[in-house]
Amino acid sequence: MDTEHQHTAIQLPEGSWWDWEVIAWDVGRLRLAAGHDLTYHHGLELVFGDPALVSYPSSFHEPVFRAPTADELLRVTRQLGERPSVLIAFEADADGREPVSCLIAAERLEIVHGKVLTRGRT
């Protein structure tokens, strides 16, 4: 996926991506897993290279990805000192009364589609 200034809603492959959680996060990469039930396996990963800003709950359900608003892009640009290469925005159910607005800014985004067993996580 070409992520040169990716500031539009991302398109996920067909599938049941109801449950989401962080499966790896360090200074160089953030990996989110998605599936209909994450107990034994997942079928989708969003891998963010060099994440610079992360604002979302550690687990969430039914995200609705959208283009970042002009205000969100301006706020993140000011906070980082430059316009991010990738800025992903979404609303998600985090088991509260209202959906939570979420943002992830990074250098790169890779969408990985395929079954991964839970015990194989790194």
Is position 1 within any domain?
Answer: no
**For residue 85, how many other CB atoms are within 10 A of its CB?**
18
Is position 82 within any domain?
Answer: yes
pLDDT for 28: 94
pLDDT for 5: 58
Domain count, the chain: 1
In angstroms, the Cα distances linking 98 to 23, 31, 112 are 25, 25, 29
Domain residue limits at 46: 19-117
Q: How wide is the angle at C-alpha 30 spanned by C-alphas 48 and 12, nearest 5°?
A: 50
pLDDT along the chain (122 residues), means of 10: 59 83 90 86 91 87 92 96 95 89 95 74 47
Is position 74 within any domain?
Answer: yes
Is position 67 within any domain?
Answer: yes
pTM for this one? 0.83
